[in-house]
Every structure is written in C-alpha cells, then in structure tokens.
C-alpha cells in the first residue's frame, strides 16, 4: 500500500467536521494545489446528509456531500450510507444522458460514503426562488429534456434487457425506497406510525377526506403496488424543487439518492406537485403574475414531456415488440396516468406527512394556509382517483383551478 494511502485518515468511515472536508478534497482530487488555503462551511439543509462548501481564496469551490448513518430529520431513522454511491453513479450516468443538466462529480468514495462535486453556488435552490416568486422561463424545457433523456434511455424500450437488469441490480435501493413506501404511499392515509403533522384547522378535513376515504385508499394501494413492482426506468426518485437548482440561464438537477428502477410517472408527478405548491403559495400571497407563470409551467412540462418523449421513443426504441403500432401511445398514456397519481400522492404527503414543504408551512396567515392545504388535498384526490383521464397539460391545470373553486365552495 502506498505511504499516503496507509497514512490517510479517510481509510475508515467517520463523519467529517471542521476542516476535514478540505483535507479530504486535497487528498482525493487535484482541484486545488496541495498548499491552497481552503475554508469549509457546512451548508446542508436537507433531511438526510451533510453538505460542505470548500473554497479557496480565489473563490474557486467544490461541494463535499457525505451520508450520515442516521438522518438529520430524525436520528432514530437509520438508512444505508450506500445512498451516496447511488447518487454519485447515477449523476455520472445522467451527465452522459442529459449533458449540462446535472452537477459534475469529481470523485466519490464508498469508504467515507462521500462525493466531491461541482459547486453550484451561482444557482438558487428552486424551492426558495419560487418562494420569492421568481420565474424561470427555461425550466419546462430543461426539466423535460432531463426527464425524457434519463428515463427513456434507461428503460427496456431502449436498453438491451440484460444490460438494463444489471442497472436494476446496481441501483437497488431498498432503504430509501422504504422511506417513500412509508412516508408517501402509506402513512398520509392512516397515520399508522403516528408521525403525521396535521395543521390543526384542517384536522377534521384530513379525517374525512384522507383517513376515512376507503375508495382513495384503494387507488393509493394500486399506486403503491406500481411503485413497488414497475421497474420501468432509472428514476431520480425524489424530484421535488429542493432537488433542482435554477438560474435564468440554466437548470441543474441534483440529489438523486432515492434513485432506483421505478415508474417514470413518479418523477414527472413529483415535478408537477411541487409546482402546485408554488402556485398555492403564490395564491396565498396574491401574486397573480407568478401564479400565471406557474400554471403555464405545469401545462408546458406535461405537453413538452409528451412531445419529446414520443420523438425520442420513436428515434431510439430497440425493443422490437415496442415498435408495434399503437404501443408508444399506450406506454405514454400509462405514464401520464401514473404522473397524475403520483402528483396526487406527493401533494398529500407534503401536506399531512412527516416531511412537509416550506412553500406551504411558511404561509403566515392561518386561514390562507388552511385553504392552500385543502386545495392540495382536493387536487390530489382528483388526480389520484381520475388519473386515467389526465392526458394533456390542460387537464392538470384545470384540476388545480377546479380544486381551488371547490375549496371556495367548501367554505360557503
């Protein structure tokens, strides 16, 4: 073993702190000269990991992201640190499939369960930018290119099936999937683990509309079964606006640690639901121009996704039977129904589940927050129950507007 390797403090796992991420970057990469003076700042505000910004005195910087053995959101929840390998490997793969739309990975390490990646400090986290009512005209185009390229190209439509199954194996992600199976697809409907967070003015509404609605439970059970068994494509698995960086001239999708082979509509549905949170917040603050843009983004994401998906499917399909006339339409139709269904489950779980979104929880006026939450739930139920009828961008925007109207009627 070379002397440097045997002497390294990074030969066995520990949680980095203080200036250790800087030492780590110098040891593992050539990004900075060995004599560079580096500063370290912990900047993570997610639920799971530790994120450090490492900068030299010229302003050059990288990010070090490390997986802890228990989660930041709850020290009682322990989740495999293999999530960091999954995240690093999928970002490398997606960098090839969707160039420019994901951060560059300089290095990753299965001992420290950490990776060193491109710093995107010139971008803003999309959730916070939307909370300030900023608009991003490029967003629909970029996010649909990312989804179409990364999802079709890893599916059985395009990949040789044995090679695809190798990827299924490599991206098996049981513990992170379990979080979604529990927090998204079970607990919001029954509070079975007693960790839902229900805004008190909506307690009765949640009891009637979610906990007591058996026909809703049946549809969610079907969506859960689909999530558990439909190894359709290598999905991001947690594609909310806290997993997206934006600036006027670009978009970067990051944080795919929940990635696994699952239903394509899970990713598309998450994007739609998180736009709806932004719309709901905009409505509470009477930001009508912003709300107009958000609704047009919802419509565009669906319509551009359909358009690009069909074009890329027809261009790249290699599975002979999938070339049969009518199959592309059948395949896309199922994805759109899944999109509506999982937009619904995301809307509900972020409203009553353990992991909520600041777009809604920081609405200061209780009456407006109550209304925003009810719109989320009514819209979600429409999308889940009637998911097979959602075919166009307008079907999604119409559901948002009619749910807002329904909520107004509920109050009268």
Interface residues for Mg ion in 304-363 (CB under 5 A)? none
The position carrying tokens 């070379």 is 2
Residue 260's DSSP bridge partners are 235
Identify each DSSP E strand in 207-249 by its residue range: 233-235, 244-247
Position 67 contacts ligand SR1 (CB under 6 A): no
Query: Mapping DSSP to helix (H, G, I), strand (E, B) and coil, where does residue 102 land?
Result: coil
Asked whether 308 and 148 are in contact (CB, 8 A), the reply is yes
Identify each DSSP E strand in 93-221 by its residue range: 105-109, 114-118, 124-125
**Would you say 45 or 204 has its CB closer to ligand SR1?**
45
Query: Mapping DSSP to helix (H, G, I), strand (E, B) and coil, where does residue 234 land?
Result: strand
**Integer distance in angstroms from the first to the last C-alpha of the chain?**
75
List 10, 23, 27, 46, residue binding Mg ion (CB under 5 A):
46
**Would you say 306 or 349 has its CB closer to Mg ion?**
349
List 179, 231, 294, 380, residue binding ligand SR1 (CB under 6 A):
179
- To ligand SR1, the closest distance from the beta carbon of 77 in angstroms equals 6
Asked whether 24 and 64 are in contact (CB, 8 A), the reply is yes
Asked whether 298 and 273 are in contact (CB, 8 A), the reply is no
Position 267 contacts ligand SR1 (CB under 6 A): no
**Binding segment toward Mg ion, per CB under 5 A, in 69-77, 165-173, 255-263, 377-385:** 255-263
DSSP string, 8-59: -GGGS-----TTHHHHHHHHH-SSS-TT---EEEE---SSSEEEEEEE-TTS
* Structure token digits, residue 171: 């991206």
- Out of ligand SR1, Mg ion, none, what residue 16 binds, judged by CB under 5 to 8 A for its kind, is none
Position 125 contacts ligand SR1 (CB under 6 A): no
- To ligand SR1, the closest distance from the beta carbon of 72 in angstroms equals 9
Q: Distance between CA 317 and CA 403 in Å, rounded?
A: 38
List 23, 177, 355, 398, residue binding ligand SR1 (CB under 6 A):
355
List 152, 183, 239, 244, residue binding ligand SR1 (CB under 6 A):
183
List 47, 170, 316, 386, residue binding ligand SR1 (CB under 6 A):
47
Q: What track of x and - describes contact with Mg ion for positions 68 through 97 (by CB under 5 A)?
A: ------------------------------
**Would you say 187 or 407 has its CB closer to ligand SR1?**
187
Chain contacts with Mg ion (rule: CB under 5 A): 46, 255
Chain contacts with ligand SR1 (rule: CB under 6 A): 47-48, 71, 73, 77, 179-180, 183, 238, 355
């Amino acid at each position: 073993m070379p002397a440097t390797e045997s002497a390294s403090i990074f030969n066995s796992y520990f949680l980095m702190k203080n200036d250790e991420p800087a030492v780590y970057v110098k040891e593992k990469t050539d990004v900075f000269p060995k004599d560079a003076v580096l500063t370290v700042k912990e900047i993570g505000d997610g639920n799971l990991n530790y994120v450090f910004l490492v900068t030299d005195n010229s302003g050059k910087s990288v990010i070090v992201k490390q997986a802890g053995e228990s989660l930041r959101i709850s020290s009682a929840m322990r989740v495999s640190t293999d999530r960091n390998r999954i995240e690093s490997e999928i970002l490398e793969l997606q960098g090839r499939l969707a160039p420019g739309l994901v951060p560059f990975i300089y290095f990753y390490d299965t001992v420290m369960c950490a990776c060193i990646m491109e710093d995107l400090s010139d971008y803003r986290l999309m959730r916070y930018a939307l909370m300030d009512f900023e608009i991003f005209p490029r967003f629909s185009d970029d996010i649909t290119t990312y989804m179409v390229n990364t999802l079709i190209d890893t599916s059985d439509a395009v990949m040789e099936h044995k090679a695809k199954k190798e990827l299924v194996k490599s991206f098996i992600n049981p513990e992170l999937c379990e979080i979604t199976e529990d927090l998204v697809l079970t607990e919001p409907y029954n509070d079975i683990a007693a960790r839902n967070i229900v805004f008190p003015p909506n307690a009765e509404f949640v009891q009637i509309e979610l906990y007591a609605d058996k026909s809703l439970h049946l549809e969610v059970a079907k969506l859960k079964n689909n999530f558990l068994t439909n190894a359709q494509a290598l999905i991001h698995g947690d594609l909310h606006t806290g997993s997206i960086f934006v600036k006027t001239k670009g978009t970067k999708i990051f944080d795919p640690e929940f990635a696994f082979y699952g239903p394509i509509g899970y990713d598309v549905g998450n994007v739609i639901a998180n736009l709806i949170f932004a719309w709901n917040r905009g409505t509470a603050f009477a930001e009508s121009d912003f709300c107009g843009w958000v609704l047009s983004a919802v419509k565009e994401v669906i319509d551009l996704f359909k358009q690009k998906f069909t074009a890329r499917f027809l261009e790249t399909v290699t599975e002979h039977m999938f070339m049969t006339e009518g199959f592309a339409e059948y395949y896309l139709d199922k994805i759109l129904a899944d999109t509506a269904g999982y937009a619904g489950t995301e809307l509900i779980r972020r409203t009553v589940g353990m992991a909520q979104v600041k777009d809604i929880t920081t609405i200061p006026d209780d009456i407006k927050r109550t209304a925003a939450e009810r719109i989320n739930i009514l819209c979600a139920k429409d999308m889940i129950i009637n998911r097979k009828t959602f075919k166009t961008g307008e079907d999604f925007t119409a559901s948002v507007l009619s749910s807002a109207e329904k909520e107004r009627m509920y109050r009268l």
